[in-house]
Structure 1
């Protein structure tokens, strides 16, 4: 089972929310992502929520490439 410390990845206003609420939250709920950066993600990729960002195909492709790179090390 995967675990994550929500205090480390979420803005403190979102850290006590349940997972479905966090996934539906704007990307600015993630620690270090500003409202302006969230607006830019929406403009560039149509990203509105944390779930949208998680499912962004370009991010998944990049993660797969990075995994291939570390597999041989």
Structure 2
């Protein structure tokens, strides 16, 4: 998990991570978080995981990867 999260969020429970801001994810800056909020009303990691566009994209990729 350490490669997926900013240092301050390592060791947090899954419940805490779902409630954490998207900037808790490694590689997501405060600026990125602001743009996600403006474009998709995404504030937390949970919001991102539940977002219909992100879920659709993930499902499509999974289907293509499974077909290989």
Q: Return the alpha-carbon distance in structure 2 between the equivalents of residues 71 and 21 of structure 1.
A: 31
Q: How many residues align?
A: 68
Cα distance, 1:26 vs structure 2: 0.4
Gaps of 5+ in 1: 1-5
Runs of 4+ in 1 over 2 A off after TM superposition: none
The 3 A distance-change label for structure 1 pair 69 and 17 is same
**Helix, strand or coil at the partner of 2:2:** helix
Q: Return the alpha-carbon distance in structure 2 between the equivalents of residues 60 and 22 of structure 1.
A: 18
The TM-score, its normalising length taken from structure 1, stands at: 0.86
RMSD, matched Cα: 0.9
Gaps of 5+ in 2: none
Q: Return the alpha-carbon distance in structure 1 between the equivalents of residues 19 and 46 of structure 2.
A: 6
Larger proportion of helix: 2
Cα distance, 1:48 vs structure 2: 0.2
Which residue of structure 1 aligns with residue 30 of structure 2? 35
**Helix, strand or coil at the partner of 1:9:** coil
User: What are the superposed Cα offsets for residues 18-66 of structure 1, whole Å, 9 maximum, x if unpaired?
Assistant: 1111110100000010011001000000000000001111111111111
